[in-house]
């Protein structure tokens, strides 16, 4: 069974009721459509959590979501498939998560989880204490369980991937998604103190808060560099980043251009543009102009009438390449979602191709590993859009490339 990274347990009997907060976050997550990360951010702000307490909250919530099916299997065994109300089930889930996966002190895991669960305390207490006695046999179970249970992925998604990738690659992908993602940062060579650095991406043991605040680094997986580097913008060119927020790829484009030429960075939401503007300022980007525009709209805005030498189009997608990092996705995604955005993706691509200069290059990109959103969509659009030719692709498959999944296709106007 895949384990999360070792966690310090010495301070886990804090007076702060982290287990109760975890139950509240998971209950709200299950009842709505909010992302767990957003709910935890709000919980941290409202309760003024210290960094260690906030980190422990994230460990419990994300590890529970990452192992949901396996935890439910253990619960069924330990309760003899007893019917449970929602809060009791979440209580058992987070308790077993602490005992069997996070390896938190049994005393703290049991007592503080029981205290947080309310009216079902006697049941929670009995089940968790039994789990402590039977840890060895419980930890031996995953080896005999189906892939969808031992790696906690929806069965439909595994069947879908088996059809695309076969058993070995699907198994490797599901196991990859069970390993907590490392904190990766891109070194910002636009910062005067980092210009001579030989590093492009680094793995951080802790969040580099000071370096982030100074704009020396930007938290970003190496897979996000595939599309900007395939686009290869040159100094002095006019470049469009059509779906730019929060700005990590825009900043890399500016770095590749030596902060010369012009980047038009667009997005559809004023709030997202404010975040984009703040990130670009902090990252020392000086050649970007920010514009509010939705490229799903066929009307060409005035700032695009002169056309662009290069265009980066990073479209909304199913996010199946980043499930290790975005733990919610596997449980939120439905079979129809993989193709639900294809019409919008195709419209975005067609509209952006219209403002590409003759001889110019557009790179279409996703963080998906689904052919329907990637090469098949590009092929379909080019078949119905004369005057453009396919150039090349870049892609990453997480277990093989040891980074998030991504796809990028370069198209030239001829």
- Whether the CB-CB separation of 312 and 295 falls below 8 Å is answered with no
> What's the Cα-to-Cα distance from 402 to each of 3, 19, 173, rounded to whole Å?
17, 33, 11
Q: How many CB atoms lie within 10 A of CB 360?
A: 20
| Calpha distance 157→18 (Å, rounded) | 32
**Residues in CB range of 83: below 8 A, 6 or more apart:** none
Q: Which among 328, 330, 334 has a CA at the least distance from the CA of 37?
A: 328
As beta bridge partners, residue 186 has 201, 218
**Residues in CB range of 170: below 8 A, 6 or more apart:** 147, 158, 161, 162
267 assigned ligand-binding residue = yes
215 assigned ligand-binding residue = no
95 assigned ligand-binding residue = no
314 assigned ligand-binding residue = yes
| Calpha distance 273→98 (Å, rounded) | 39
246 assigned ligand-binding residue = yes
Among residues 132, 184, 367, 380, which one is catalytic?
A: 367
Query: Is 367 annotated as catalytic?
Result: yes
| Calpha distance 145→141 (Å, rounded) | 7
Residue 46 burial by CB count (10 A; 0-12/13-18/19+): exposed, middle or buried? Answer: exposed
103 assigned ligand-binding residue = no
248 assigned ligand-binding residue = yes
Active site residues: 367
Binding residues for S-adenosyl-L-methionine: 243-249, 267, 294, 314
Output the known binding site: 243-249, 267, 294, 314
């Amino acid at each position: 069974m895949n384990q999360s990274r070792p966690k310090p347990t010495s301070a886990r009997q804090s007076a702060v009721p982290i287990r109760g907060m975890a139950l509240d976050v998971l209950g709200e997550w299950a009842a709505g459509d909010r992302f767990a990360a957003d709910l935890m951010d709000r919980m941290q702000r409202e309760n003024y959590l210290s960094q260690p307490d906030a980190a422990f909250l994230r460990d419990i919530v994300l590890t529970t979501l990452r192992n949901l099916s396996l935890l439910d299997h253990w619960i069924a065994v330990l309760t003899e498939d007893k019917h449970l109300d929602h809060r009791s089930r979440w209580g058992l889930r987070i308790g077993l998560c602490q005992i069997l996966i996070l390896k938190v002190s049994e005393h703290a895991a049991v007592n503080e989880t029981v205290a947080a669960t309310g009216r079902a305390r006697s049941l929670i207490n009995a089940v968790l204490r039994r789990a402590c006695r039977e840890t060895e046999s419980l930890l031996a179970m995953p080896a005999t369980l189906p892939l969808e249970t031992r790696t906690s992925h929806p069965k439909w998604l595994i069947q879908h991937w088996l059809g695309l990738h076969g058993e070995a690659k699907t198994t490797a992908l599901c196991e990859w998604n069970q390993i907590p993602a490392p904190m990766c940062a891109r070194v910002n060579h636009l910062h005067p103190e980092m210009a001579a650095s030989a590093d492009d991406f680094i793995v951080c043991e802790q969040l580099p808060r000071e370096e982030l605040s100074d704009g020396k680094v930007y938290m970003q997986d190496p897979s996000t560099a595939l599309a900007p580097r395939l686009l290869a913008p040159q100094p002095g060119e006019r470049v469009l980043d059509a779906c730019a927020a929060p700005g990590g790829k825009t900043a890399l484009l500016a770095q590749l251009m030596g902060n010369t030429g012009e980047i038009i960075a667009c997005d559809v939401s004023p709030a997202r543009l404010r975040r984009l503007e703040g990130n670009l300022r902090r990252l020392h980007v000086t050649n970007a102009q920010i514009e509010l525009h939705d490229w799903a709209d066929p009307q060409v805005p005035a700032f695009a009438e002169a056309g662009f030498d290069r265009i980066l189009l990073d479209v909304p997608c199913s996010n199946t390449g980043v499930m290790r990092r975005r733990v919610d996705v596997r449980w939120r995604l439905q079979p129809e979602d993989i193709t639900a955005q294809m019409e919008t993706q195709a419209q975005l691509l067609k509209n952006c191709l219209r403002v590409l200069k003759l001889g110019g290059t557009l790179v279409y990109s996703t963080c998906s590993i689904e052919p329907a959103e990637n090469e098949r969509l590009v092929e379909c659009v080019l078949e119905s859009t004369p005057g453009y030719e396919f150039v090349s692709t870049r892609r990453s498959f997480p277990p093989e490339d040891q980074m998030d999944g991504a796809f990028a296709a370069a198209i030239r106007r001829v």
